[in-house]
Amino acid sequence: MSVTFRTPNYRRLKAWVTSSVLALSVVSVSSPAFADDLRDTLVSVYHKNPRLQAERARLREIDETYIQARAQGRLSATASGSYSGTAIRTPRVPGSFFTPPSGGWEDGTPYNGQLQVIQPVYQGGRVKALKRQAKSGILAARENLRAAENSIFVAAANAYIDVIRDEEAASIRRNNVRVLSRQLVAAQERFDVGEGTRTDIAQSQSRLAASEAGLAQAEAQLQISRAAFTRIVGRMPVDLQPTPKFVRPRDLPAAIGLARENNPQLLSAIFNEDAGRAAIDVAKAAGRPTLSLNGSLSGSRDQIFGVEESDQAAIAAQVTIPIFSGGLNRSRVRQAKHAKTRLAFETRDTELAVDQTVKQIWAQLEAAEQTLIASRKQLAAAEVAFEGVDLELKVGTRTQLDVLNAEQEVLNAKLSVVNAEREVDSATFQLLSTIGVFDAEGITLPVNKYDPEDNFEAVRYNGFNETIDTYVPEAVQKIGSQVPDMVEDIVSVPGYVLKKSGANKILRQVDDIPEEPGKLVKKGIDFVTGQDGEYNPNKGKPLPEIDTEPIQPPSKPPE
């Protein structure tokens, strides 16, 4: 039996993601060998970022839950033994003509050993449900890893463009200091020949001091951005190249549709909801009979009393039938059902949150693009105005203050362009991340990609598990097979499972699989033990169509 987990593929996303990848490749190819581009930065993050490494380790932790769940239905063996030195005193009994005297001290070193083997045969569907719960939890954790990778890549890309912005801003302010220094010298020269006033000199000095203060702030902000870059990427930035331009979805509805299909937080919520569905079966299993085969071998030697040496072998079938638990089992089933309801509402809330995030980012992106266009127009006009005012000063129709004001407008326009370019890039990164493609897979980074399946396959048959599966007949392991709640192989299509017949079924409609004898038996047991499921009017409905009215509390508290 094989179990395969895969994260969702990119199907409809490939067409436009490929275009963004080409844009990324063109920039990196044309960059100098000693420079950093965005691709190199993200490659470094993929290999070195400690938070990303921690998330991968977290996923490996969660992989073990499937092994632990499976082990509860597997053959187990325990061995025990003892070796002791014993001295026993008994009352002395006088002998007779026919019997020797007895009693007094006797000592010895008795020892014994025992081997016990247990093979669970039927556990009321508990192991099957635990495995399904673990599988869904692992798939949810893989989506969480993908979400973390998207988030870390966005942080790294923002740090990248922050350094570019702050380097450009510092360069602009340095140039502004140089221009104002020349303005001050010119004002002093005009004053020396009697064409200017001390007021012109004072105004120039004031603007130069303000510009120097602005440069100091820009230099400090640049160091802050470089520190943030080093923290995320793992090295200092070196000659960062322009940011590549990514192709975006054609319109807002397309972006929302792509996010609903591939957003990792939403997919994680869907898998968690399925885990909650499996938890109901886990709770129900506590009220069902269990059957196991128990075998034992034991031997003892050098016993002081009784039989000095003995060997024993036994095999037995043990049946346990729960009769009454004081309401514990039914309470746990109700609790699991409420948890499943909560997870369904959380899934719906996550979907609405994803829609909201996409709409917000889309609006921010459009505003940033319009701001960038307006800032570039402002810069072009401010430069023309500055040239005109400077010429007019020379012919005496403008004052020194007019020139300084025009220079300030050019400075502000240049800084606005730099900030607007940064905001456009940042909003683009965030949009791609919300859609779920701003990761190594989505932009096809040239790295040896971390495959979560590798670790699962490595631990799945660690130790004696493979040997036991080879020599313990599969039929023995599956006597009284449990409810086929989920086909063993989970395919790559998000939210779907693939039946062996080849027909796709929506995950939430797995209950529509034709009932099998084992399932009918379980339903009968559930009915007798009061665990039969109530009618569900939402069964089979797509999530957006389910009325998400909150559950009303009872009119009075329970006694």
Residue-by-residue DSSP string for 364-427: HHHHHHHHHHHHHHHHHHHHHHHHHHHHHHHTTSS-HHHHHHHHHHHHHHHHHHHHHHHHHHHH
The sign of the torsion formed by the CA atoms of 366, 372, 374, 377 equals negative
For 27, 30, 241, 249, 480, the CA distances from 21, given in Å and listed in that order, are: 10, 15, 16, 14, 52
Q: Report the pLDDT value the prediction gives residue 62, as an integer from 0 to 100.
A: 93
- State the DSSP H helix or E strand holding residue 528, giving kind and residue range, or none if neither: helix 517-528
pLDDT (0 to 100) of residue 558: 37
The predicted structure's pLDDT at residue 372? 94
Alpha carbon 422 to its chain's center:
27
Query: From start to end of 258-405, where are the E strands?
Result: 290-301, 310-320
Q: Hey, is 117 helix, strand or coil?
A: strand
284 Cβ partners below 8 Å, 6+ apart?
124, 125, 129, 329, 333, 526, 531
Long-range contacts of 201-205, Cβ-Cβ distance < 8 Å, separation of 24 or more: 203/400, 203/401, 203/404, 204/180, 204/400, 204/404
Give the DSSP letter of residue 295: E
Closest-CA residue to 439 (of 194, 28, 206, 146): 146
Three-state DSSP at 337 gives: helix
**Paired tokens of 249:** 């979805």
pLDDT digits 0-9 by tens, 161-179: 999 999 999 999 999 899 9
Write down the pLDDT at residue 519: 59
Q: What is the pLDDT of residue 186?
A: 86
What are the pLDDT digits (tens) for 119-144? 888 888 888 899 999 999 999 999 99
**The pLDDT value given to residue 308:** 75
The bridge status of strand 496-498 relative to strand 76-83 is unpaired
Intra-chain end-to-end CA distance of the chain, in Å:
49
Q: What is the dihedral of CA 296, 300, 306, 308, to 10 degrees?
A: 140
- The rounded distance, in Å, linking the Cα atoms of 215 and 169 is 9
- Domains in the chain: ranges and CATH: 11-78+112-536 (1.20.1600.10)
What SS3 string covers 208-256?
HHHHHHHHHHHHHHHHHHHHHHHHHHCCCCCCECCCCCCCCCCCHHHHH
Angle at 541 between CA 495 and CA 504, to 5 degrees: 40
pLDDT at 7: 41
Give the span between the Cα atoms of 40 and 31, in whole angstroms.
Answer: 11
Low-confidence ranges of the chain (pLDDT < 50): 1-34, 473-515, 530, 533-536, 548-559
Instruction: Give strand pairing partners of 301.
Output: 111
Q: Cα torsion at 399, 402, 408, 412 (round to 10°)?
A: -160
Give the bridge partners for 405, in sequence order: none
* Residue linked to tokens 């093979």: 119
pLDDT value of position 326:
84
Q: What angle do CA 95, 97, 102 make, to 5 degrees?
A: 20
Q: What proportions of the chain, in percent to the nearest 5, are helix, strand and coil?
A: 60, 10, 30
164, 233, 246: which is closest to 432 by C-alpha?
Answer: 246
CA angle (184 as vertex; 178, 189 as ends), nearest 5? 130
